[in-house]
Structure 1
Amino acid sequence: MKNNQLIKIHKPEWGDRLRARWRERFASHLSMKEQNEISIDDFLWHLCSFEMVTCLEKAEAIDAFLQQSKDKCTVFYQFVDDAYLFENASSLSINDLPYQTNHMDYNDMYVMDWNEKWTFVMTHETDYGPYFIQIDETNE
């Protein structure tokens, strides 16, 4: 019988690579000029707050995240290279995420499924996010 217990593996060097993959996967429809205009280098989630991508927000975003089939997913941050790989993640909930409300390095957080089909974003701004983006596979 398969062990379905949630596994969290710390990957302290993955952050930079995951931020680059996220940007390539979810913001590649924008030119570099457009990306610079929304200051995507400052916060990847500006893609959502500047409405440059179709996404869900707030409670709808949380619901969409919770409903996703989650076998493996990565969690990473805007400003630090700490990252995590979650395996057997079907039960992964908001409370399982390594998000720290009052810590600037750990409160702009991105969850991306292993196949890069969706992402869930929590921001440090109470007026912005959470966000959920799903890749429309018919347009890939």
Structure 2
Amino acid sequence: MEIVETLTKNESGKIEAKWMGIYCKNKQGFNTKDYRWHIFSGGGYPSVEADEAESMYSKHQAESYYVMFNNSSAIDIVKEKPTDLNYKDVYVFPKNMAWTMAFTHEECWLGPYFAKHPNYKNLEKENEAYKLKLQQIAHAKSKGWC
């Protein structure tokens, strides 16, 4: 996982607060202080789990991703979607927060979890446009046009 940028503590705090405001609005009784993914495992926010979560995650692309570790105050930005985060408490989501993937240290028992933003359909259109752009570039390269 190549890190493009590590956000400052202040910037990371703002992103985390925004993420919590979307996915952990109803956090009462879910112990999100220890692990934010408890909101998903406890049913406080709709999500899919395990193989279904992995499948959903594999189908989504964005221009870049935030990588938020449960035990760190810094958030990293990466260009390529991380895939080898099993057994770590990590949250991956595009900058527009259309969806989130929560990897857990309890994998195979609890998690991972994939959840969609309440405004997912509109936000995901931005991410789909980027995916189309990647396909067009790949096509152009296969034809030797660039």
Higher-Rg structure is: 2
2:140 paired residue number: none
1:128 paired residue number: 110
**RMSD after superposition:** 2.5
The correspondence of residues 94-133 of structure 1 with structure 2, limited to 5 A, is 94-95=83-84, 99=85, 101=87, 107-126=88-107, 127-133=109-115
Could you tell me how far 1:71 is from its partner in structure 2? 1.1
Amino acid at match of 1:120: M
Amino acid at match of 1:83: I
Instruction: State yes or no: 1:25 paired with 2:22.
Output: yes
Classify 1:12/1:137 alpha carbon distance in 2 versus 1 (closer, same or farther; 3 Å).
closer
Instruction: State yes or no: 1:81 paired with 2:73.
Output: yes
Could you tell me how far 1:43 is from its partner in structure 2? 1.1
Aligned length: 119
2:8 paired residue number: 13
Give structure 1 regions of 4+ aligned residues with deviation exceeding 4 angstroms: none
Q: Does the CA contact (< 8 Å) of 1:122 and 1:129 recur in 2?
A: yes
TM-score with structure 2 setting the length: 0.70
Could you tell me how far 1:16 is from its partner in structure 2? 3.4
TM-score with structure 1 setting the length: 0.72
Structure 2: 5+ residue runs without aligned partners? 123-146
Q: Does the CA contact (< 8 Å) of 2:99 and 2:120 recur in 1?
A: no
Percent identity for Structure 1 against Structure 2: 19
Could you tell me how far 1:27 is from its partner in structure 2? 1.9
1:104 paired residue number: none
Residue deviations 1:48-71, cap 9 Å, x none? 110111111001111111101221
Classify 1:40/1:9 alpha carbon distance in 2 versus 1 (closer, same or farther; 3 Å).
same
Structure 1: 5+ residue runs without aligned partners? 1-5, 102-106
Classify 1:94/1:100 alpha carbon distance in 2 versus 1 (closer, same or farther; 3 Å).
closer
Amino acid at match of 2:15: L
